[in-house]
Each structure stands twice: as structure tokens, then as C-alpha cells.
């Protein structure tokens, strides 16, 4: 018998994966959590029916959400990660030689517990001596910290449930206050193909609060449409001002300074859609 897992993007489009085994399923109190072992992408974390990450393609998303901001800032000593309970972003952040401390604030402890058990190649980020974990709401944590971080990374679930507030203008204002005078932040901002209106609205919000706002993207095969966006707000440094011939002093598989620069170029139809939907 063949087992398949299907993630529905909407009533007319879905993505399906052949499953070897369902390893774990639970209701955490915050969300429905499943870990599946799939044929094409290895182990996969699914929250509320939405694929979060897989062993095979996770490096692309995690390298791009971490290394673009860390290499835009000249000295990212203190980093805050909101969400990211699988540990993949933390693993990438703690690789960076300038980072002295990386604090991860995750609302759902069960994501961390299950990542440590079922996704050890991602969760190894938790083993770094630079890492500190706080279980709590990232929105509240950011409101309570001022002028403290060089870089903030918002590695959240989609804008539903506890993550809704992580996509709001008020949250970007609190982030601005939690950053030092030359700080910057990046948030995962969904699919440019399916959610250009949301990205246009976020870009607009970030532009009204930060001196610099930029959107970049990468290809994640297991996210609907493949193309995935990140939005940066920065007080001083522009992500395009990177030496694209520079060498990165740690191992990466997707990220290079040349990819960093290239990722800032957006296809015209997406830019036009983002513009037309800006509120
Ligand atoms: N890479 C993923 C993606 O784009 O699909 C996201 C990875 S990570 C698993 C997202 C995490 O954000 C989840 O574990 C979720 O519990 C956490 N989260 C959601 N809302 C949060 C909040 N308000 N504060 C802190 N963590 C939150």
C-alpha cells in the first residue's frame, strides 16, 4: 500500500509526498504537529497541515534567512531568533564567527522537543554554547527588550494562529526599538507567487519604519510555488552593499555572496503585483 501526504495550498492546488512512515503526531496546545518520513525529502515537520521544513531541502531556507542578514551587518554579535523551533536557523546563525550570542524565542516547546528527537541534523543548533532558548511569545519578548540586538530573524509559521501578530506593523515597530542604532531584521514573508499582496503590504510597513527595506528570495522545493521571500528592514546597512567576490569563512551549500546579491533581484511581474497591492 502507498501512503501519501497532501498539503493543500487552496481548493485548486496541492502538493503531495510519498510517505514511508508517520513517526509522530500530537496536538501541542498551540498547533497540530506531525513528523513524517517521506521518500523524496526525508523527515518532514508539519504544523497545522503546513510543511515547515524537510531534511533534504532545509539548508536553502535556513542559510538564506540567516546568512543574508548576518553578512549585511558588519559585526552581528547579538542575534535574536523569533520562532525557528526546529533549530535550523539557530544552527546557521551560530556558525557565523562574529556571533557571540543567539537567543531563540519559541512559543511552542513541543516543536523543540520533537526536533531534537526526530530532526537532529537541524536541532544541532541547540547544542552551540552561543545558543540560549526562551519559551514564550516572541511578540511580548520583543516589546520587553530595547536597543539590544544587532540582528533579529523572524522564522515564523504562516500568518495564522499565534504567528498573526508577527506580520503586523506594530510588531515591526517593536523590532525597530529592540534593535541597536545600526541593527537590522529579516522575516520570512511567504510565497511571492501566491502572496504578492501580503509582501507588498509588509514591504510598505517596513519602509515606513526603517531607513532601508528590501525583499529577497530563494527556491525551496517543498514550499508552495517553490519561490520563497524574505523581507529585510535595516537602520543603516543595505544588503546590496556586499562584496559578491568575498569568501564566506564557514561551510554553506546554497549561500554565497554572489547568491546574496542575486537574491535581491525580483521578477518584474512580482514587483508589479506587490506595487498594485500595497495598501
Ligand atoms: N521555516 C518555517 C516555515 O516558513 O514554514 C518556519 C519554521 S519554525 C517551525 C516556525 C515556528 O514559529 C513554530 O515552531 C511556531 O511554534 C513558532 N511561532 C509561531 N508564532 C510564534 C510567536 N508568536 N512567538 C514565538 N514563536 C512563534
In the chain, the DSSP E strands lie at 3-10, 13-27, 32-38, 42-47, 50-54, 78-83, 101-106, 131-135, 149-155, 179-188, 212-219, 227-234
Q: Which three cell numbers stand for residue 248?
A: 564566506
Ligand 1 pocket test: pick from 62, 106, 142 the residue with the most ligand atoms within 8 Å of its Cβ: 106
Q: Specify the pLDDT at position 143.
A: 98
Q: Specify the pLDDT at position 30.
A: 96
233 C-beta closer than 6 A to ligand 1: no
**Cβ neighbours of residue 140 under 8 Å, at least 6 residues apart?**
none
Ligand 1 pocket test: pick from 33, 41, 44, 83 the residue with the most ligand atoms within 8 Å of its Cβ: 83
Candidates 57, 86, 150, 155; catalytic one: 155
Rounded Cα distance, 198 and 43, in Å:
30
Q: Specify the pLDDT at position 278.
A: 57
Instruction: Tell me, in angstroms, the distance from the centre of ligand 1 to residue 43's CA.
Output: 18
Domain ranges of the chain: 3-54, 58-277
273 C-beta closer than 6 A to ligand 1: no
Assign 3-class secondary structure to 41-95: CEEEEEECCEEEEECCCHHHHHHHHHHHHHHHCCCCCEEEEEECCCCHHHHHHHH
Buried b (16+ CB within 10 A) or exposed e, 257-273: bebbbebbebeeebeeb
Q: What is the pLDDT along the chain (279 residues), one digit of tens a residue?
A: 899 999 998 899 999 999 999 999 999 999 999 999 999 999 999 999 999 999 999 999 999 999 999 999 999 999 999 999 999 999 999 999 999 999 999 999 999 999 999 999 999 999 999 999 999 999 999 999 999 999 999 999 988 888 999 999 999 999 999 999 999 999 999 999 999 999 999 999 999 999 999 999 999 999 999 999 999 999 999 999 999 898 999 999 999 999 999 999 999 999 998 888 654
Residue (of 226, 214, 247) closest to 60 by Cα position: 226
Q: What dotted CATH number matches 3-54?
A: 2.30.140.10
Q: Which atom of ligand 1 is nearest to the CA of 138?
A: 24
Atom 18 in ligand 1: which residue has the minimum CA distance? 83
Q: Specify the pLDDT at position 1.
A: 84
Q: Specify the pLDDT at position 198.
A: 93
pTM to 2 decimal places: 0.97
| Whether the domain at 3-54 and the domain at 58-277 fall into the same CATH topology | no
Respond yes or no: is residue 155 known to be catalytic: yes
Atom 8 in ligand 1: which residue has the minimum CA distance? 84
Q: Which atom of ligand 1 is nearest to the CA of 166?
A: 23
Instruction: Name the CATH topology of 58-277.
Output: Rossmann fold (3.40.50)
For the stretch 156-163, contacts whose Cβ atoms lie closer than 8 Å and that sit 24 or more positions apart, written own/partner, are 156/82, 156/83, 156/187, 156/188, 157/31, 157/47, 157/48, 157/50, 157/52, 157/83, 158/50, 158/190, 159/190, 159/198, 160/48, 161/30, 161/31, 161/48, 162/30, 162/107, 162/108, 162/137, 163/83
Q: Specify the pLDDT at position 70.
A: 98
Amino acid at each position: 500500500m502507498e501512503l501519501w501526504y497532501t498539503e493543500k495550498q487552496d481548493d485548486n492546488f496541492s502538493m503531495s509526498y510519498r510517505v514511508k512512515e508517520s513517526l509522530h503526531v500530537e496536538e501541542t496546545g498551540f498547533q497540530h504537529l506531525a513528523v513524517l518520513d517521506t521518500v523524496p525529502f526525508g523527515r518532514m515537520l508539519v504544523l497545522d497541515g503546513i510543511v515547515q521544513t524537510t531534511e533534504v531541502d532545509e539548508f536553502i531556507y535556513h542559510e538564506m534567512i540567516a546568512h543574508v542578514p548576518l553578512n549585511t551587518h558588519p559585526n552581528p554579535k547579538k542575534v535574536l531568533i523569533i520562532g525557528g523551533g526546529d533549530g535550523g536557523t539557530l544552527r546557521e546563525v551560530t556558525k557565523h564567527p562574529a556571533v557571540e550570542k543567539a537567543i531563540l524565542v519559541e512559543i511552542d516547546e513541543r516543536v523543540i522537543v520533537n526536533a531534537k528527537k526526530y530532526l537532529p541534523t537541524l536541532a544541532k543548533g541547540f547544542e552551540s554554547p552561543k545558543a540560549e532558548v526562551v519559551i514564550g511569545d516572541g511578540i511580548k519578548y520583543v516589546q520587553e527588550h530595547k536597543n539590544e540586538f544587532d540582528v533579529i530573524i523572524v522564522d515564523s509559521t504562516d500568518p495564522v494562529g499565534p504567528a498573526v501578530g508577527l506580520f503586523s506593523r506594530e510588531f515591526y515597530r517593536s523590532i525597530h526599538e529592540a534593535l541597536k542604532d545600526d541593527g537590522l531584521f529579516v522575516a520570512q514573508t511567504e510565497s511571492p507567487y501566491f502572496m504578492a499582496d501580503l509582501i507588498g503590504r509588509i514591504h510598505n510597513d517596513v519602509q515606513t519604519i526603517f531607513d532601508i527595506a528590501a525583499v529577497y528570495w530563494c527556491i525551496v522545493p517543498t514550499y508552495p510555488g517553490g519561490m520563497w521571500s524574505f523581507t529585510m528592514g535595516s537602520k543603516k546597512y543595505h544588503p546590496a552593499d556586499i562584496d559578491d567576490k568575498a569568501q564566506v569563512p564557514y561551510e554553506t551549500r546554497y549561500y554565497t555572496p554572489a547568491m546574496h546579491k542575486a537574491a535581491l533581484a525580483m521578477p518584474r511581474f512580482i514587483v508589479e503585483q506587490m506595487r498594485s497591492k500595497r495598501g
